[in-house]
Amino acid sequence: MQIANIELRNRPLMLAPMEDITDPSFRYMCKKFGADLMYTEFISSDGLIREGRKSVEKLDIFDYERPVGIQLYGHVIDSMIDAARLAENSGPELIDLNYGCPVKKISNRGAGSGMFRNIPLMTDMTEQIVNNTSLPVTVKTRLGWDENNKPIVEVAERLQDAGIKAITIHGRTRSQMYRGVADWKLIGEVKNNQRMKIPVIGNGDIDSPEKAKEMFDRYGVDGIMIGRASVGRPWIFSEIRHYLDTGELLPPLSLHEKSQIAKEHFLKSLERKGEKVGILQMRRHFVAYFKGLVNFKETRLKLLTSLDPAEIFRIIDSIPGKYRETISQYGTGSLI
């Protein structure tokens, strides 16, 4: 698959941009396990042009994670153009426009999936950003605003005409948030629309190798983007790639292997964010890494309250000998 001049392997797997999740430490882990293209956390155009600390920090990208895209959101064209120029200076491979975030404080202002309430603005903004950056511009979006407003087939055509080089579609409307089941039929309609010449990437509910292969085979999408299923399970990229390439499922990871991965992720978080922030940002990941352990409540509480890195490492080291899992998950075998 190719996005402008960016060459990716056939049937690539991409890491979705997720706020407070896809920071450099998590991207490091996902790249290690085979993510083909990754994105930063989404960045507010207003925050970026005002040099807000959190927004500027999200521009940090590293050579090991390439190719990587910086995702921007906003509802004012001039601000988005200025933000795209600032993002370009950080040296990503592409700029991605967020027309899909369903969070009220974003969408109700007309940004994110709120763009579906003003499609002419969406297409005008896209075209102007394309014309004001030398990087390829892509879009991540949804099916529409609600069940009665799902114009994604037409919108995808208009965005392609505006100059984007690829489109990622999450198979839900804004009103669904993350509830219900992602509708891949409409994603397939976009892909099979004879007017569409750019890559179409599907997103939504991909949580197993079998499901990824089914979506590739049934709807013909060019790539698949994985979001929530990668949290606490960055090895999902290796699971899916192995299954796509061989038709075989890898054996499950042992709890020891998961603990080693969690420790490596934690170490990277400390390196990138410092002790205080590195610990706080890992807490949601710790919950996800060790989900499904029997009688884990007391240890979970310690992981979520300790502010001592050494103690946290000791807690993680103790987990394989003390607990067992109640649910089975796919794994990558010995990849550590």
- Give the residue numbers annotated as catalytic, written as ranges: 101
**What six digits make up the tokens of 42?**
């989404």
User: With the C-alpha atoms ordered 314, 26, 170, 284, is the resulting torsion angle positive or negative?
Assistant: positive
73 forms beta bridges with 44
In sequence order, the 6+-apart residues with CB closer than 8 A to the CB of 188 are: 218, 219, 220, 221
Q: How far apart are CA 79 and CA 85, in angstroms?
A: 10
Residue with tokens 């933000």: 83
DSSP-assigned letter for residue 42:
P
Distances (CA, A) of 199 to 6, 113, 132, 159, 167: 12, 21, 22, 12, 6
Both structure tokens of 311: 């103690």
Number of helices (H), then strands (E), belonging to the chain: the values are 14, 11
What are residue 59's phi and psi, to 5 degrees?
-80, -10
**Contact status, residue 303 vs residue 312, Cβ threshold 8 Å:** yes
The enclosing H or E element of 273 equals helix 255-273
- With tokens 């993350």, the residue in question is 178
Contact 128, 77 (CB under 8 A): yes
